[in-house]
Each structure stands twice: as structure tokens, then as C-alpha cells.
Structure 1
């Protein structure tokens, strides 16, 4: 059976006679058809980013997008006179997206052919196919998570954050403090479960076991009073990072078993993983229980091993492990820590639920 095409992560629009009706430099005035406006908003709501590759005067074309009320939907626009294949390549590179997750739409067969020739992985569409887009499988993700609906805003905030860091002069800790980082750790809700499942599936470098938990698995854990399904959110002065961490904790008398810790690679540089671990250690210390963390080495998660070791977890034997159920995989190691109270992070404000006595 043929595999469905990968979901498009970014649609790159031509402008003249594609996004809008008319040629800006010739007609002076262009119009935006209602179905196109609706399509732009629909794709944005599905978590598909949108950009522009257009041969036009940049300032005039961008001002037209502003006047039409759709400029905010487009990230990393490339408006100028160079080859459109170069523009599409630059957009993909800056987003760090594989070319086969990029789509390009244009009314000119020659422009479509130029992009196909230089970037054969990019999916190219003639403008007359725009009415089909909302029903095509490559533009229809199976699940639209909470974070997907605000993906564009998160990327736009990321570009601003990156620019601010490039301009900042001083130690990295001072820059982190300037971000006004706020971390929220809360019990997952049903609405968040799709994003939680996505974290177990997509995170690799900062995933302690590489074990994927399905929606059904997560719902079972959510209903089990012994388990805590915790989601970590991060925001700063530029905007939200969204859900960036997942913690699955099984509580037993005298010992808490951290079955999975997974964090997004996007927030490694902010020290998010160490803040989460510090909070868990502090909660366990005040509850008077030992902590046991499951770890399974994969090809990419050495950073998580280092994070556990840095937090004080070891292979030292302890009787507290004896009462724990067998791990999900035979090659999972159980690291041990006798917790002590932790100092708060100097660069991040933390708002978190209390796990003590639950």
C-alpha cells in the first residue's frame, strides 16, 4: 500500500495572480479573493506555516499584504528579483525544515519548472489547484494539537528572540535573565494529550527512554491515581514556547519512579531540563521519598544521561527499587537518587503543582 505524502510544514506562496488577483507593478491595485483569505487562515489554524517567494518590489508588496490584512500570517518572506528556487531554499534552511515538507504554489509554469528543477523534493502546485488545498492529505494533519494552532506565533517569537540574542552583549546567564522566562508545570489535561503524545514520539536527544506512549496509554495513566502525567510549558517576553516537556511519574510508598522525562530540544539552551529535574528532586525531598529514574540509552539521547548524572542520579543499589514493577523494556536502567531540597533557578520563574501528599 502506498504511503501517504508527508504533511506539508510550510507553504510558500507566489503573490501576483496566485495569492492575490492582479499584477502589483502593472495594475497598482490588487484584490484578495475571499476563498484565498479563508484558506490562509485555515492552514494557519492547522499548524502549517506560510511564507512568500515573489518577484516584486519588497516594500510595495509587503505594504500590500499589510493593507489586505494578511501580512501577519507569513514568516520569512522572500520578495525580490532572484530565482524563486533560491528563495524557497533559504526559507526551508532558516526554518530547519526538510525540503520534502515544503510546498510552493505559483501561477506561472516557468516558475514552477525552475523550482522543480533545482529543488525536486519540494512539492509544486499550479495556482488553479488552490481550491483543493484544504482537502488534500498533505495539508490535512490527522491531529491538530494546542501548540499546532499557535505554531506560527511561536516561530515569530523565536525569530525575535534569536535577533535579540545576536544583539545582546554580556554573559549568557544575563541574557537568559533578560528573557523573563516563566516555566509552568501542571497536570496534563485531555486537550493537551495529543501534544504530550507528540513529545514522546518526536523528542530524541532529550528523551530518557525513547518509549512512545500512545493516546490510549496516556489516558490510562491519567486515570490512574498512582501516576502523574505532567506537562511543562515555557513562555518569555517574546511569547510562548508552548508545551516543551513531559514527565511521567509513578508514585509508590517511599519511592517515586520517573518513568519518562522528555523535553524539546528547542529549550535545551535555556536549561529547561535541569530546572524540571531540580523541581522533581525538590518535591521528592519534601515528600521524604527516594527518586528512581528510568533511562534507556538510544543513538541520540546521551544529553539526557548527562542531565541525570549532573542532577545526582547514580547506579548505586538501593532497596527502594525492589517494590517497583518491571520496566517497560529489558534494557531500561533505573538510576537512583536520595533527594535533597533544591534552590530555585536564578534565570527562570517556576510555577508548578505540588506533588506532595498526592
Structure 2
């Protein structure tokens, strides 16, 4: 079986519908009817609760960008028991494009994966001018919103269905990190992290496909793989597909990493290595690279890696360079790297590694 992937994610997705990762709501005349500071009683739109809960069940995050008074707005959302659905709500008097930038940074996701819903043409135009890649929607069209292809992920995995809860755990982690006094490694040690590496099973493939479609920053090539391709790879003796997960004292991050290696008797080639942006500061990308280096050295093979430069994955190039990889071939944005396996590092003390995998045949 031959799997040839030469197109980075940015190009591979040109002919596909965008995937919306987060819907950002306005409040007055959008999420509810009326103006909170003018009307004695505002009520949510009749269809809004169903839409919010359906988006959440599909793994689509939600937030708020509203020019409003913070405390009364939050109180109203709590009164309707929907406050928990909105992450990093921005309720203030600043431009909504600024609020959206804040939300995107807090969630660590790209602007082009956001949708913004507002009743006012001016507000939508202000956001679209400052964020041309965002999807702006008129609230009058929300009755058909759930039917839009962008709002319908191909698979709803266990990880996607609990995505909001995992982000809420991230908020607690971040608060603890800000309050922590001491070196970064001591804080990481306090998390009691467990990083598990496994050979991907058929039950993992929906999440694996989702990772290749959703993960842009910590992604060495941007190659996308369908469920069927991944299943063929999983059953091939020429390829090994590793999936990794991360847990700590706050709960699980879920399945956050995917690695594909092409194995020949002389050379192993990393075709894809990606990690969810949610584990950006946990060092697991470097851990996975060192794990592969260890396995390659045990097998007595050379280790190479494909890297495709995109506008957002520079950090993964640096991860390879810190691991000792050197460029041996370059054609535009396509790079082939090799490691002489002389700089293999031990795993850090602050994390426990569980290896449920096996070496390449």
C-alpha cells in the first residue's frame, strides 16, 4: 500500500467546507429578544436553547461578544441556566472585533474557525473588516444554522462531545498556573500528568481523522487523512499509527496526539506528527519525538521526518530541530529531515509515560 501525501493542510482544505470550532453570540436582539438595559424583561429567542445545546453536543464551542453591562448579562444567562455553555465571554463596551480576538487567543484557535452571530449589519461589518476570515451570520438566519455544512462535523466522537468540559478544566488549570509560585517544572509536576502512547485501534479512527482536520499549529505536515485511509494504514505492516492521550489531576485532555510512521527495514519516516493546541505548554510534542527516536534506535534504523511549512506550524519545526533533526532535502515548503539519534533525551520527571504501543514490524 502506498500513501502519498504532499499537500499541506491549508491547500488540502481549499475544496472543503470550513469547519467551525466556536460560535460567538451577540446578546441584545440576538441571543434574546429586546435590550437588556432598556427592557424590563428580555426573553431568549424561542429556538435558541435548542441551537445552543445542539452545537454543544456536536463539540462546537460557544462564547459571547456583546456590548453590554457585564453583571446583569451574566445574571440573565445564569437565570436561564445556560451560562455554562459560554467560554471566555466578552461582555464590555469595546469593539466586537477586539472581543473576538480575545476569545480566539483564550481558546487558542484560529479566527477562520469562528462564526459570529449578530443582528446589526454594522457590527457584522466591523468584525468582517478586521477579521476577513471569520464567518459572520445574521441572526435572522439562525433557524437554518444547524443545517449549514460548517456546523456539521463528519463524526461526533467521545472527545468532541465533551470538548466544552475539557476546556472548562483548562480554565481551572490556567487559573492554578497563574496563582502558582515557583518554577514552571514544579507546576507541571503538581499536575500529576500521565501521557499514554498506544497503537491506534479502529475505535480511535474517527478521533484520528478529526485531529488531522482540526489541528493546525502543532502539526508537522498538515496532511489530512480520511477514516478509510487511516483504517488501511492501521492494518498495514508498512505503517504504524500511534495515538496519544493526556490526563492530569483536573481530568482528561482526551486523545490529543497522532503520529504516523512509515517503516522500512533501513529507514523510518515520520509522515505526520501532531498534538492538540490545548497541550501546547505541556511538552508532549518533544516527548513523542524522543519516544520515536528511542524506538528507531532499538530497531537499528535511520530516522527521517517529513515537514511541510505552513503559516502556523513553525513550533513543530523547532521541536524537530531541538531533537537534533537536520534538513537533508528541501523543495519549497517541503522539507525532509534526518536525525542521527545521538541526542536522545530521557523523559522529564514531571510526567508519567505509559507505553501501550509496540515497535514497527
TM-score by length of 1: 0.76
1:99-118, aligned counterparts within 5 Å? 99-107=111-119, 111-117=120-126
- The residue number in structure 2 matching 1:302 is 317
Alignment partners' CA distance in 1, 2:174 and 2:180: 10
1:292 aligns with 2:302: yes
Does 2:285 align with 1:273? yes
Over 6 Å off, 4+ runs? none
Per the alignment, do residues 258 and 199 of structure 1 end up closer, same or farther by CA in structure 2, a change over 3 Å counting? Answer: farther
2:275 alignment partner in structure 1: 264
Counterpart-to-counterpart distance in 2, 1:118 and 1:163: 29
Distance 1:16 1:206 in 2: 37
CA distance in 2, matches of 1:66, 1:82: 23
- Structure 2 partner of 1:176: 188
1:7 paired to 2:16: no
Counterpart in the other structure of 2:80: 68
Contact kept, 8 Å, 1:112 with 1:124, in 2: the verdict is no
CA separation in 1, counterparts of 2:27 and 2:46?
15
How much does 1:193 deviate?
Answer: 1.9
1:302-331 alpha-carbon deviations (Å, 9 max, x no partner): 324324428xx999xxxxxxxxxxxxxx97
Residue 131 of structure 1: how far off its partner (Å): 0.9
Larger Rg computed on CA atoms: 1
SS in 2 for 1:169: coil
CA contact (8 A) 1:200 1:262 kept: no
Task: Note the C-alpha offset of 1:70.
Answer: 1.1
Distance 1:277 1:166, change over 3 A: same
SS in 2 for 1:232: strand
Q: Distance in 1 between matches of 2:335 and 2:99?
A: 46
- How far does the alpha carbon of each residue in 1:142-194 deviate from its partner, in whole angstroms, 9 at most, with x for none? 44454433333333333333333233221111111112211111222334324
TM-score for the superposition, normalised by structure 2: 0.75
Q: Conserved in 1, the CA contact under 8 Å of 2:194 and 2:354?
A: yes
Q: 1:67 to 1:347 in 2, by over 3 A?
A: same
* Structure 2: distance between partners of 1:275 and 1:63: 44
Specify whether residues 93 and 70 from structure 1 end up closer, same or farther in structure 2 by C-alpha distance, changes over 3 A only: same
Q: What is the aligned length?
A: 334
CA drift at 1:247: 2.6
SS at match of 2:32: coil
List alignment gaps of at least 5 residues for structure 2: 1-13, 329-333
Cα 1:102–1:68 change in 2 (3 A) is same
- Check the 8 A contact 1:245/1:261 in 2, yes or no: no
Structure 1: how far apart are the matches of 2:238 and 2:46?
52
1:250 offset after TM fit, Å?
Answer: 5.4
Give me the whole-angstrom Cα distance separating, in 2, the residues matched to 1:131 and 1:203: 30
Q: CA RMSD in A?
A: 3.7
Question: How far did residue 258 of structure 1 move?
Answer: 5.0
CA distance 1:127–1:185, change in 2 (3 Å): same
TM-superposed CA distance for 1:231, in Å, is 0.1
